[in-house]
């Protein structure tokens, strides 16, 4: 992959995990911007330019890659996916959604596979090798769109 992704969105309530994952992404120099949201509701607000993001006056952000945790307060990963699927295409764009979780439960993996929009399922923490694998699998032509 030669072209950087424009935007990677981390959706995880664990501040330490977000710090570590942002560091891995920045070290690999694969994205122009990395944004953190701490639950599914916060992420939906970000994608829709609502709530605390309303005053930014930016077009819909349409991240290229979304890392999504399962267990979060307010709105968990499954609830986020259910709401995300209902968003119009001009808001959600064409991101790759990768579940990034501590869950090793086979039922969670099976549930993730039922969502066509979930393209990957990995266990935390994100490593450079994992990131490289995801990028090669889903952005091999260097074009994130």
Q: Is the pLDDT of residue 115 over 70?
A: yes
Q: Identify whether 25 is part of a domain.
A: yes
The domain that contains 21 carries what CATH number? 3.40.50.2300
Residue 107: give the domain boundaries. 5-138
Q: Identify whether 60 is part of a domain.
A: yes
pLDDT-derived band at 93 (thresholds 50, 70, 90) equals confident
φ, ψ of residue 60 to 5 degrees: the values are: -55, 130
Q: Identify whether 144 is part of a domain.
A: no
pLDDT digits (tens, 9 = 90+) for 32-48: 999 999 999 999 999 99
Q: Are 100 and 21 within 8 A, CB to CB?
A: yes
Q: Is the pLDDT of residue 2 over 70?
A: no
Q: Is the pLDDT of residue 144 over 50?
A: no
Total of domains in the chain: 1
Both tokens of residue 41? 């509701």
Q: Identify whether 143 is part of a domain.
A: no
- Predicted pLDDT of residue 94: 77
Q: Is the pLDDT of residue 142 over 70?
A: no
Q: Identify whether 122 is part of a domain.
A: yes
- Predicted pLDDT of residue 56: 63
Q: Identify whether 34 is part of a domain.
A: yes
Q: Are 46 and 61 within 8 A, CB to CB?
A: yes
Q: Identify whether 99 is part of a domain.
A: yes
């Amino acid at each position: 992959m030669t072209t950087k992704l424009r935007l990677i969105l981390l959706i995880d309530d664990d501040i330490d995990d977000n710090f570590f994952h942002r560091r891995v992404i920045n070290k690999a120099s694969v994205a122009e911007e990395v944004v953190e949201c701490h639950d599914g509701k916060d992420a939906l607000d970000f994608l829709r330019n609502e709530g605390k993001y309303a005053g930014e006056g930016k077009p819909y952000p349409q991240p290229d890659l979304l890392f999504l945790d399962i267990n979060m307060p307010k709105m968990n990963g499954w609830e986020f996916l259910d709401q995300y699927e209902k968003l119009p295409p001009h808001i959600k764009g064409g991101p790759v959604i990768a579940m990034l979780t501590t869950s090793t439960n086979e039922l969670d993996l099976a549930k993730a596979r039922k969502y066509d929009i979930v393209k990957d399922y990995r266990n935390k923490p994100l490593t450079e090798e994992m990131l490289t694998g995801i990028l090669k699998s889903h952005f091999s032509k260097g074009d994130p769109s």
